[in-house]
Amino acid sequence: MPENITQEDLENMSPEEIIELQKKNCIFCKIIKNEIPSKKVYEDDYVSVILDINPASEGHLLILPKEHFMIMPNMPEELIGHMFIVARELSQAVLKTLDAEGTTIFAANGQIAGQKAPHFMIHVIPRKENDELFEFKEIKIPGEKLDKLQKMMKQIMPRLVTGRDIMAEEKPENEIPEYEAKEEPEQPKTEPKQEQPKEKSEQKPKEKIKHTPKETPDLDKISRLFLNK
């Protein structure tokens, strides 16, 4: 962080200003522009691939998008696709030329996830048996919590993946018969009541569409964390 910028300045900056500041001071942007020397092993119009100078294992590679992005959710789809295709090719190169028996493709969004610099990157890490580089410690999650999570995810996923609210599109057919069945015993009593359930069943699907607004994560906050480092 440049010395002439105070904590207070940072807090008053707009997200755009923060990103500009980040880009100006980004080591990896300088590496990409060859202003800082590095060991480049691959380059195309969109990415540069360099050797990590403090590798987890021999041949540890960093795939850097040439354009500065802090985290993956900010990146365009085409670039994400391209970066991981490059990751696949490099993984193949690592298996072919180095003494590796597997690879870990690793990406971190946010400092908490282990991201070290505010320039998004994908790591390709050559692996050998028993190298103990990564540990996946299984945790026990209570069945009740899991069921709840699974239910929630099942509801959100179709919309997330397809961009369409499939649940809401399908719901009306499923829900209307249910409402009618419930209200049926009341029907013979009076006529006005008969209209109420109808309204209800028409309104329900609309609410479903409204209740999943998509917001972007608090990128501003994440970027501040980096600069405060």
Q: What does the per-residue mask of binding to another protein show for 143-172, with x meaning CB under 8 A?
A: --xx--xx-xxx-xxx-xxx----------
**Least spacing, CB of residue 218 vs another protein, in Å:** 8
Q: Give whichever of 92 and 194 is closer to another protein, judged by the CB atom.
A: 92
- 97 near another protein, judged by CB under 8 A: yes
- 113 near another protein, judged by CB under 8 A: yes
- 19 near another protein, judged by CB under 8 A: no
Among positive and negative, which fits the CA dihedral 24, 120, 12, 16? Answer: positive
Of these, 11, 16, 35, 53, which contacts another protein (CB under 8 A)?
Answer: 53
C-alpha pair distances (Å), 210 with each of 81, 106, 204, 205, 216: 31, 35, 10, 9, 17
Query: Which range touches another protein (CB under 8 A), out of 14-22, 91-99, 174-182, 185-193?
Result: 91-99
H or E element at residue 143: helix 143-162
Q: What does the per-residue mask of binding to another protein show for 169-208, with x meaning CB under 8 A?
A: ----------------------------------------
**Least spacing, CB of residue 150 vs another protein, in Å:** 6
Q: Give whichever of 5 and 153 is closer to another protein, judged by the CB atom.
A: 153
- 115 near another protein, judged by CB under 8 A: yes
Is the distance from CB of 152 to CB of 84 less than 8 angstroms? no
**Least spacing, CB of residue 58 vs another protein, in Å:** 6
3-state secondary structure of 54: coil
Backbone angles phi, psi at 48, to 5 degrees: -120, 140
Cα(41)–Cα(158) distance, rounded to whole angstroms?
39
Cα(113)–Cα(119) distance, rounded to whole angstroms?
14
Is the distance from CB of 47 to CB of 82 less than 8 angstroms? yes
Q: Give whichever of 88 and 193 is closer to another protein, judged by the CB atom.
A: 88
